[in-house]
Structure 1
Amino acid sequence: MSNNPPLRCVVVDDEPLAVGLLAQYIGKTPGLTLVFKTTHVLEALSVIEQGDADLLFLDIHMPELSGMQFMKIIGNRCKVILTTAYPQYALEGYEHDVVDYLLKPFSFDRYMMAVVKAKERLEQKTAAPASEPPDHIFIRAEYRIQKLNFDAILYIEGLRDYVAFHTPAGKVLSLESMKKMETLLPAGTFIRIHKSYIINRNKIEFLDRGKVIINGQYLPVGDTYRERFMAQLGID
């Protein structure tokens, strides 16, 4: 019996019956565990971005974002098994280095063949040298998914219904939350200094009377954040 932890699986399909079937299959497959399932592709993005998935079962035809587009966004963060009723996309799928291509309706036996391939791929990945950590984040900005390099973010401002990413090129508005940003951004680089502000410590120009100055902007340090903030800067 293997001592390896179970592979964390995510299922994304806009058909609830398809999601339910795969959830059932995963539930009775040794060595797999279902960590997230959804009929809305964008809901799965944060799970994948945080590195909480090893294997993604992904439909191709979905209203918000196609499976092919989604794979371009997540890169190589996890292995992908495509599930679709359209055989004409098989070649394009393999160009994205997918593990397998399950043509609906597929049997449990066919599903297991794909899982075995995925396990083999992931074992090879575990044996390989660790890859470089990501230097960027993808955010939902109005009607598109936008890539932001960490180094381009000066600070993040929490507003009523959205957050604003301040960059040298201007503001980027997103429907993300400040709490989510704290979990996704590198903790050593991004520091929360106020209920409304997360800053990039590499962009600090100076501190002045309880405020942080970044790009000429004076940002307040909240009383509840002050002690931890100063400790993170190594200031007594």
Structure 2
Amino acid sequence: MNCIIIDDEPLAREELHSMLQEISGPTVIGSFSHTLAAEKFFSEHKADLVFLDIQMPKTTGLEFVEKIPKSSLVIFTTAYPQYALESYELDAIDYLLKPFNNERLQKAVDKAQHYSDLLAANKENSLERSTSEFLIIKSEKKFYKVNFADIRYIEGLKDYVLIHTISQKIIAAMNLKTIHQKIPLPCFIRVSKSYIVNSDHIISFDSYSISLDDTELPIGEIYRENFLKTFTNGLL
């Protein structure tokens, strides 16, 4: 896995480059102090993974992420925690809050590699059929039955959705809006631009996040009122 670093702080770029050399992870093929240089790089090259700072002059990381090719995964690196929710709604793989250590960096890189492997292995996956109780997903010339009751949550990732079930993860080529329309059960609630949650699997929640066993998902601002009203009023 190849990666590039975009950060306007020279010391931050050098430190991240050094940390990536110390851990098991991607090879750094570019390091840029501003987004214009990175944009030029993308016109001629490809990168599997982008480490992207948020607070930069002229164009912020949150603005530039829209110009990054869909084939590249993004990990935000920033000293500002208030952008975490927005970053996940932009299909970011992870959000590293400076200063972070090698262990946290390794965890983010492993997550990116895992998602990259899933996408590479499942590009032909598609939703073939839906009923009142299950979905049929086609993958590698086989058809898989996915019971709605087994789905914990569904994650939007680029042009795909990643269905997290109790026992496995399955990718299908479609967006969150489309798959939400295929699921007839009211227990599936859209909680952000990137996530649909099966409320039957919710362990706890507050105004900003939802916990499902060992997974914590953010609640998007525009979805918060509907989620809290629906869930706390006992309508599900």
TM-score (norm 1): 0.50
Paired with 1:104 and 1:19, the residues of 2 have a C-alpha distance of 12
2:24 aligned residue: 30
1:39 aligned residue: 33
Letter in 1 for 2:95: Y
1:11 aligned residue: 5
How many residues in Structure 1 have an aligned counterpart in Structure 2? 125
1:53 aligned residue: 47
Paired with 2:73 and 2:48, the residues of 1 have a C-alpha distance of 6
Paired with 2:45 and 2:71, the residues of 1 have a C-alpha distance of 7
1:46 is paired with a residue of what secondary structure? helix
1:58 is paired with a residue of what secondary structure? strand
Q: CA deviation at 1:125?
A: 1.3
Paired with 2:38 and 2:87, the residues of 1 have a C-alpha distance of 19
- Conservation of the 8 A alpha-carbon contact between 1:48 and 1:78: no
Cα-to-partner distance string for 1:40-69 (whole Å, 9 max, x where unaligned): 221011323445200000000000210011
Change (3 A) 1:124 1:96: same
Paired with 2:45 and 2:33, the residues of 1 have a C-alpha distance of 20
What does residue range 1-236 of structure 1 map to in structure 2 within 5 Å?
7-129=1-123
CA RMSD of aligned residues (A): 1.8
2:12 is paired with a residue of what secondary structure? helix
Paired with 1:30 and 1:107, the residues of 2 have a C-alpha distance of 14
Deviates more, 1:84-93 or 1:47-56: 47-56
1:14 is paired with a residue of what secondary structure? coil
Paired with 2:76 and 2:25, the residues of 1 have a C-alpha distance of 20
Runs of at least 4 residues off by over 6 Å: none
- Conservation of the 8 A alpha-carbon contact between 1:11 and 1:19: yes
Give ranges in structure 1 of 5+ residues lacking alignment: 1-6, 131-236
Q: CA deviation at 1:73?
A: 1.5
Paired with 1:99 and 1:24, the residues of 2 have a C-alpha distance of 21
* Bigger radius of gyration: 1
Greater relative contact order (Cα 8 A, min sep 6): structure 1 or 2? 2
Q: Percent identity?
A: 43
- Conservation of the 8 A alpha-carbon contact between 2:48 and 2:72: yes
Paired with 1:25 and 1:14, the residues of 2 have a C-alpha distance of 17
